């Protein structure tokens, strides 16, 4: 399959997620993990309105961080699969993932049949 279009999409998604992560967390390169900032990161005035509300509630921030981290990891994993030539294969059944699923969710790890099992896969 031609993966270049998905690679481009995934790279765009990765920068978008990285930007979102940077509003609430810091990338610790030594452990390759994101940790919440204790205070809201300074943002450009243009972004202030968008992000003012997420700095408030730390429980909410933990939940947001966890969600973003999962999406980030899935995107990085999908990019690795493109390099390894295993992109677009369901991790559960080893069947090809439907193209319309990859279209809307290029970091998908499973085919449609195993959609509900995706969150049980190891991170």
CB nearer to Zn ion: give 23 or 74.
74
CB nearer to Zn ion: give 45 or 94.
94
Chain centroid to Cα 58, Å, comes to 21
CB of 88 to Zn ion, least distance (A): 11
Alpha helices in 25-109, H assignment, sequence order? 45-51, 58-84, 99-104
Asked whether 88 and 97 are in contact (CB, 8 A), the reply is yes
* Residue 114 in contact with Zn ion, rule: CB under 5 A: yes
Long-range interactions of 108-117: CB distance < 8 A, separation 24+: 108/78, 109/74, 109/77, 109/78, 114/90, 117/92
The interface mask with Zn ion, positions 63-102, x = CB under 5 A, is ---------------------------x-xx---------
* Residue 109 in contact with Zn ion, rule: CB under 5 A: no
Q: Catalog residues that contact Zn ion under the rule CB under 5 A.
A: 90, 92-93, 111, 113-114
């Amino acid at each position: 399959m031609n993966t270049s279009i998905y690679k481009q999409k995934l790279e765009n998604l990765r920068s978008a997620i990285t930007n979102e992560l940077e509003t609430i967390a810091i990338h610790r390169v030594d452990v390759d993990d994101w940790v919440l900032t204790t205070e809201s990161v300074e943002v450009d005035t243009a972004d202030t309105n968008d992000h003012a509300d997420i700095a408030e509630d730390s429980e909410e921030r933990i939940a947001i961080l966890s969600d973003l981290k999962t999406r980030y990891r899935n995107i990085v994993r999908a990019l690795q699969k493109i390099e390894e030539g295993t992109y677009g294969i369901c991790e559960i059944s080893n069947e090809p993932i439907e193209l319309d699923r990859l279209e809307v969710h290029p970091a998908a790890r499973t085919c449609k049949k195993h959609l509900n099992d995706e969150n049980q896969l190891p991170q």
